[in-house]
Amino acid sequence: MIRIFLFMAMMACAVSAYAADPPAAAGDKPFTDAPPPPPPPPAPKETMRNDKPMDDNTKYYMRKEFTTKGREGSPRHEMTYFWRQPKEIESGKTYPLVVVLHDEKGLAQAGTYLLDKDLLASNPSFLVVPTLPFKKMWAFPAKIPEDPTLEKYAALPQGLPDVVELVEDLANNFPVDLNRIYVVGCGDGGFGAFGAVRQYPKVFAAAIPLAGGWSQTETPKMTKVPIYALHGEEDKTYAIGLSRNVAYYIQKFKGDVHHLGIQGLGHDCNDTRFYNKALWKWMYSQHKPETK
């Protein structure tokens, strides 16, 4: 009897253990959380043309880095930009954003003139100066029959989409007035400013191309953004016709454009005649009627 009782007790324990923790079937694996996806590889950093785009005045800007998301034709990478914001940012208030595109030497002289104390006092603004490496353009038309020798630049990677991506990021993190985003650039930056009008009319409220140009064949689609273009009459790098003809046709298509040729001036982006109070007054008076 004792043996029978012990045997029945052992069988009961075995049944209980099986019910509580059934053995795994052949081929089953214990459940585990999926491992997290590996982090993306570090984005390669672009080399600046000039690490002091405003010369000695670069010290009045904060040097920062921005990683692009990457897109077809422009892999993910890290770009350097220089940033300045108003000394006091009032709660509930928004401020203009001025994008300064440097020239072929990597110099952004407008970034210095925009530091004028009286100008900043009357127009507190966010200022951003993005940078490009050599062998890259801000923007360039696919064809430029006015000067076919320049079409070699159309094959270079373009940095303006990265600038717009940066502007979007800044607008998401700072109180930027979306109706008052301006772009100014000289030389290569002048092409970039015209390109901003052609490619991103919904982003920019005004453009100031200096010593730059574009193709008049694209002017029917360049009427949505007010433009104030200046150019040296003696410019041997980018002939004045590259901006004068564009301005003429934009005006013909009912666009809001001003063009000023400066006598005796060549391709000198640092000339004070490019930067005057009337120009900045015009720029800050521009704003879009509505931004969605």
The residues spanned by each domain of the chain are 55-285
Query: Hey, is 156 helix, strand or coil?
Result: coil
d(CA 77, CA 46): 7
Q: How many CB atoms lie within 10 A of CB 163?
A: 27
Domain at 55-285, CATH class? alpha beta
Question: Which residues face 158 on adjacent strands?
Answer: 137
pLDDT of residue 82: 98
Of 78, 83, 80, nearest in space to 111 by CA: 83
Q: Note the helical H segments in 134-290.
A: 160-173, 188-199, 241-252, 277-285
pLDDT of residue 15: 45
- Give residue 28's Cα distance to chain centre: 52
With beta carbons less than 8 A apart as the criterion, state whether 244 and 213 touch. Answer: no
What percent of the chain lies above the pLDDT cut of 90?
80
With beta carbons less than 8 A apart as the criterion, state whether 242 and 80 touch. Answer: no
pLDDT of residue 4: 46
Of 242, 156, 133, 233, nearest in space to 194 by CA: 242
Residue 58's Cβ-count burial label (10 Å; 0-12, 13-18, 19+) is middle
Strands (DSSP E) contained in 108-255 are 126-130, 176-186, 206-210, 227-232
pLDDT digits (tens, 9 = 90+) for 51-77: 999 999 999 999 999 999 887 667 889
Q: Chunked in runs of 10, what are the mean pLDDT values of the chain (292 residues)?
A: 48 48 54 70 87 97 94 82 96 97 98 97 97 96 94 94 97 98 98 98 98 97 98 97 98 97 97 95 92 51
pLDDT of residue 43: 81
